[in-house]
Amino acid sequence: MSEAWAKGSTREWRRTRALVLARDLYRCRAHTDGWCDHVPGDHTCTGTAPLDGPDAGHAHHTLGRTVTGDDPNHIVAACAPCNLHIGDPTKQPDPPGRSVTRW
């Protein structure tokens, strides 16, 4: 769970999440749009992001919640494995360095 949600979610967030999941037809857009490709490692996408139940869908903030807030234009539906695999896009490690020139 994100540190932002340590005290639970708000009614407004639950409404926004439901809107995003319905807009994306309860499908994992995080995977189909390629957001998972930005993070190294393996995971298994379930393909769906249902509103309720044990596999309840997540809503992924594509640019990070601290950057865009809860603007639905920057949130996509995600299955739990994809959203947890991606994590917070603002806290991704730097890519490994590479030589630009040889001496």
pLDDT 10s per residue in the chain (103 long)?
A: 455 556 678 899 999 999 999 999 999 999 999 988 888 888 899 988 888 877 778 999 988 888 888 999 999 999 999 999 988 877 765 556 666 776 6
Residue 97 DSSP symbol: P
Domain span at residue 72? 9-89
Beta-carbon contacts of 18 under 8 Å, excluding residues fewer than 6 positions away, are 51
pLDDT of 5 reads 57
Would the CA dihedral through 29, 32, 38, 39 be positive or negative? positive
Q: Is residue 103 part of a domain?
A: no
Q: Is residue 99 part of a domain?
A: no
Q: Is residue 18 part of a domain?
A: yes
Q: Is residue 16 part of a domain?
A: yes
pLDDT of 20 reads 94
Total domains present in the chain: 1
Give the pTM.
Answer: 0.76
- Distance CA(34)–CA(9), nearest Å, equals 27
Q: Is residue 54 part of a domain?
A: yes
Residue 82: count other Cβ atoms within 10 Å of its Cβ.
Answer: 27
pLDDT of 94 reads 56
